């Protein structure tokens, strides 16, 4: 449970244009575990991978759910 709180704290600690933005040379890992078998990341609008070295990994069946935002995804990652 603590790692979930830390993940979301890190995710929302920067002011960015996109709802989910990953900077250069940054890796974000989302994974399931024995304690949390259903893991979802919800983004209402857009996802921005800002560089070709930006990675967003979904390991062991978590899901990225994206709302009906009007901006669309962006970036080169």
Read off the pLDDT of residues 13-27 as tens digits, 9 standing for 90 and up: 443 445 787 888 888
The count of structural domains within the chain is 1
Q: What is the pLDDT of residue 37?
A: 84
Q: Which residue has the higher pLDDT, 10 or 71?
A: 71
What whole-number distance in Å separates Cα of residue 42 and Cα of residue 30? 12
* Owning domain of residue 61: 2-75
With a threshold of 0.85, does the pTM exceed it? Answer: no
> Residue 52: CB partners within 8 Å, gap ≥ 6?
76, 77
């Amino acid at each position: 449970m603590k790692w979930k709180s830390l993940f979301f704290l890190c995710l929302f600690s920067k002011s960015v244009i996109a709802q989910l933005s990953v900077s250069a040379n940054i890796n974000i890992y989302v994974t399931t575990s024995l304690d949390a078998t259903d893991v979802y990341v919800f983004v209402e609008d857009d996802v921005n991978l800002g560089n070709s070295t930006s990675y967003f990994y979904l390991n062991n069946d978590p899901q990225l759910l994206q709302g009906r935002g009007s901006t669309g995804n962006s970036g080169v990652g």
